Amino acid sequence: MEDANKLKEFEARIERGEKIEPKDWMPERYRTQLIRMISQHAHSEIVGMLPEGNWITRAPSLRRKMSLLAKVQDEAGHGLYLYCAAETLGVDRSELVGEFLSGKAKYSNIFNYPTLTWADIGAIGWLVDGAAIVNQTMLAKCSYGPYSRANLRICKEETFHKVQGYEIVCTMAQGRPAQRKMIQDAVNRWWWPSLMMFGPHDKNSPNSAELMKWKVKLFSNDDLRQRFVNLTVRQARAAGVTLPDPDLKYNPETDNWEFGEINWDEFWSVVRGNGPCNRDRMRARRRAHVEGAWVREAADAYAAKQRAKAAKSA
């Protein structure tokens, strides 16, 4: 009975547009859904460093290399903002990292595709970060305070990610025929997976309705996807590349660019672990964890030594 009243008050607060803070009463379901969502988001930022990290040492100029390095470092920071936001809900970061390393936790499908050429770095910044911005701009307004604030910080950094990628796309699209071919090929490969980033159709997305009721999400997967398509069609035109969809056409009545059907079989197959790079990513993550152990040990040893020194001089 008490919980029913609390739930009513909780939902009234959300209805009024108030933010929920860590110590406030919340339904258990809100808590678990947020932990799942925020940790998946965090894991995605961390895995997201792998496909791009692949090209840091082979960037075509120092300028491009500095940008890519800074971008990848930002993604590490995004992962850390998000793990801390999840921790406010009563989980330890090590639990989340453990679920990630064991393969139990999910992360965004998009990072299970390979980066075959330098042009992929352009396509990722433009399309993948572009799609992420659409999603994260919404999440910056979500009902859970710490998650909203983390996304606000993330959004401030994402614009640079997108623009550095878009500049690569535009430059290559005005280059020699081989460069133009290379960038068009990358756009062709990244376009559909980018659309899949918004998740299944609303009717096939079991969590969507509940998340929207509690204003964790403010727009549906399909609405966000449409927003992304509308933005991107114009940018493709300005860049001088085409999007690989013969069904793409403008609807003057809705002011939307309608697009063809997404290959959902491919989407679910990648979710189940059969994407081109799922195993590679997991292997790289585990190796990084093991090979980074000495850094954590050294930090611990240093802290212990400093403490001992302070105790002696006290």
Residue of 77, 114, 175, 273 that binds other proteins (CB under 8 A):
77
Give residue for tokens 């280059």: 175
Q: Where are the alpha helices (DSSP H) in the chain?
A: 2-15, 28-47, 49-53, 62-87, 93-102, 119-123, 129-139, 145-173, 177-196, 208-213, 221-239, 264-269, 278-291, 293-313
Choosing from 97, 140, 224, 229, the residue that interacts with other proteins (CB under 8 A) is: 97
Decide if residue 215 touches Fe ion (CB under 5 A).
no
Among 45, 52, 87, 158, binds other proteins (CB under 8 A): 87
Q: Which helix (H) or strand (E) holds 259?
A: none
* Chosen from Fe ion, other proteins, none, partner binding at 209 (C-beta under 5 to 8 Å by type): none
161 binds Fe ion (CB under 5 A): yes
The answer to whether 299 contacts other proteins (rule: CB under 8 A) is yes
Q: Please list every residue from 185 through 244 that binds other proteins, using CB under 8 A.
A: none
For residue 249, the cross-strand partners are: 258
| Interaction between residue 41 and Fe ion (CB under 5 A) | no
Which three-class secondary structure string do you get for 181-199?
Answer: HHHHHHHHHHHHHHHHCCC
Q: How near is the Cβ of 96 to other proteins at its closest, in Å?
A: 8
How many residues interact with other proteins (rule CB under 8 A)? Answer: 41
What is the C-alpha R_g of the chain?
21
**Closest approach of Cβ 157 to other proteins, in Å?**
8
| 129 counts as binding Fe ion under rule CB under 5 A | yes
Show the 3-state SS of 16-29: CCCCECCCCCCCHH
- The full DSSP string for 124-151 is IIIIIHHHHHHHHHHHTTSSBHHHHHHH
Give residues in contact with other proteins (CB under 8 A): 21, 23-25, 70, 73-74, 77, 80-81, 84, 87, 92-95, 97-98, 100-103, 149-150, 153, 279, 282-283, 286-287, 289-290, 293, 296-297, 299-300, 302-303, 306-307
Give residues in contact with Fe ion (CB under 5 A): 45, 75, 78, 129, 158, 161
